[in-house]
Structure 1
Amino acid sequence: MILLHYGNVVPFNWNTRGYRCFYCGKEMKDCDLLKEHTIVSHKVIDLETFIPQRIISKDVPVKIDITQLGCIVCDIPLASIEDLIAHVVGIHGEEYDNSAGVCVFPFHLHKEILQCVLCEEKYDNFTSLMGHMYKKHMEQACICQICGQSYIDQVRLKRHISNSHVGHRCKFCGRIFDAFHHLEKHKEIIHGIQKSVECSLCSTTFVNQYQLKVHMGKVHNVEKYRLKCEHCPKICTTKGAMMLHVQSLHSDARFECDICDYKTGIKWMIKLHKRKHFGEKNYVCSICDKRFGRSSNLRAHMKVHTGNFGRVCRWCRQGFIDLLNLEKHEKEFHFYNQYA
C-alpha cells in the first residue's frame, strides 16, 4: 500500500484475455489505454479502505508498471523499486516490512516490445514475459498443480492449497465437500447443473462415462467396448465388468457357500448368494412393491413396467423406472437437508 501511495506506479491485473484495471476490473487489450484509464479514472483512491478489500491473499504479488517511476509527493524520478522503498523510508519516515518477501512485480509496459526490468531479455507478449519472470527471477517459484497459480515459496503454496483446494469446492457458492460425488450432487440439486456425456453416434446422453461405454458396446457394437472372456462366450462392455466375471466364475481362488454347492472367486459374492437361503429381499419396486435380493434383479424387473432398465436408490434400495424419478426421490427424501 505504501508503494501505491507514494510511487508513480500503475497497478494492474492480467489474464489471457488481456490487461485489467486493478481498481475496477475493466478489461483492455492496450497497455497504454490501461495506464491512461487508471491515471484519469482512479486518480483519487482511499487505499486504506480499498486495499484490504481488493487484496484477499498477500501471497500473490501485485503487478505494477514502473515506466514513469518516481515519488508523487516529492515529484522526483527514481530508478527502481528499491530506490522508491529507500526514499519512502528515509525521506518520508514510513516503515516497510522487508520480511514480507516479494510484494510487487515491476514491469515496463509498452505496446511493441516488453523488456524485463531485471535483465535485458525482451518479449513481444506479456505471457512470455511472465514466464521469464517466474523462471529467471523467482527463486524456487512454486506452481499449484491444481489451478496453475504461482507462489514464491512452498509455505505460501501450501497455504493456498489448504485455503482453496482441500476438499472439493463448489465454484458457484464456495461450499466445500469431502467427496467429489457429493459436490456433483450438490451442484445438480442446488444449482441445477447436471453433468452429462453424449454418444457420438446417436447423440443419446448419459450421466457418466460408464453408462456411455455400456451403451456403445450393446447398442452400437463398438469393438472397443465388447470384451470377450478368454474362458467362455461371455461378452462384457468394460474391463471392470470383465474382471468381475473372471474372478467370479474362472478364478482358482474359490469361496464356497456352507449351505449349498455354490462357489465363487469373490468373497462378497457369497454374502449376496446367501440371501437366497435366508430370504433377504431388501430391494423394493416402488410401483408394485415386489421385493428382490439384488439391485440388479430389481433393475431388470423394471422392464416389466417401462420396457427399460430401472434405477435403484442407494440409500433406501427402492427401485424407480428411470433416472428422473430416482433423482426426484433422492432430492425429496435423502439429499435436500444434506445439501441445502
Structure 2
Amino acid sequence: MKDVDAIKARKKNASMLLEHSRICPFRWMKNLYICFYCDQQFADPAILRHHNYIEHDTVSLTTIKYAMSKLKRHELVKVDITDVSCKLCNVIISDLNNLKCHLAKAHKKNIDVNITDDVLPFKVTKDNFNCAICEEKFDEYKTLNHHMNVHYQNFICEQCGTGFITPERLRTHAFSHESGSFPCESCDKVYRSMNAKNEHFANVHKQVRRHRCPHCPETFRNYFQRNKHISAVHGLKLKEFKCTLCPKVFTSSGKLGVHVRTVHLKMKRHACDLCEWKFYSKSELKEHMVRHGGERKFHCNICKKAYARKYTLREHMRIHENDRRFICSYCGGSFVQKCSLKHHVKVNHPTVKIDEFHSVIS
C-alpha cells in the first residue's frame, strides 16, 4: 500500500507540473519526438516545443491524466525543461525543484516539494544532447536516455549493483548476466548470452534499421552508417568529441569514454578468473580465454594444423600461399608475418630509429 501511495503522490506531482508550467512532455521513438497529448511527430524538438506552446498551453488536467494513464506503472514522463516558466504568472524559473516551491508558495498548490516526481528531465536540441542534470555530452538521444539511469536508480541489479529507472530497463539489463548456449532460431549460430543472440537476430535476420537520419527519412542498421550518410549526402560536419587530456578527437561519446578509461585512467576492469591478467574490454578478455583451453576448431586444409581463432588460421594460410606482404623498405626483403619483419629490422638494420622503424613496417 505504501508503494501504491508513493506512486500516486509522484504522479500527482507530475500532473500538476504539466498543468501549471511550460515544460514540454514528449515520447520518443525511432529518432522522432512525439507529442505527449496528440501523437504528432517531430524531428526537431524545438518545433515540438513550439507546437506544445501553441496547441496545448491550456491543456486540461483531464487530458494530462488521460495521457499519463497510457504510461506503464513505473514509467516516467519525459519532459523537455528548456522552458520551465509558470503558466499562472509567467515567472521564468530555473529548474523543476524551484518550480515546485514556486507553485506551493506563490500559488498555494497542493504539491509535495519533498518527493521525487514522475518526470524525466531533458534539455535537447536537434544536434546537441547534453544531460540536463550533469551536463555530460552525448552523440544522440538514445545514449543520453540510457545515461539517465545513472541519475534515477530506482531499480537495482542484484548481481552487479547497476541502477535503472524502470523495471523494464532492469529486465533488459539482466539478459547481459545470462551465460550458456543460446542458438539462433534462424541459422546455426550459437551465442553465449541472450543479449548477443537477440542483437544478431535483429541485425542479420530482421535487418532492423534503428538509426534514423535527423535530416531525412533514411534509416540505417548502425550509428556509423548513419553518420557516413549525414556527411556524404547532407554535406554536414559530424559532431566531434574532444579529449580534455590530449589532442585526440572522436566521433562518438562512447569512443571518447573508452579512450579516457584505457589511455589516461589505465582502467583494466575485466579480469581473467584463471590467471592474473586484466583487460580493458570484454572482447580482449574473450580473446585471452582461448589460451585457457579454447577449442581449436579452425583447421588448415593443407597441413591439418588447428587454431582457436579464425584470424590466426588466415595468417597461417599466408605461409602456404607465400603471401609476403611485409616489405622492408631498406633492403627489399619480404616476409609473411609482421613479427618476422620486425626481427629482420632489429638484426639487420639496428641503427634504424623507432619512428623510421614504423615507416619500414607500414
Q: TM-score, normalised by structure 1?
A: 0.40
Q: TM-score, normalised by structure 2?
A: 0.38
Structure of greater Rg: 1
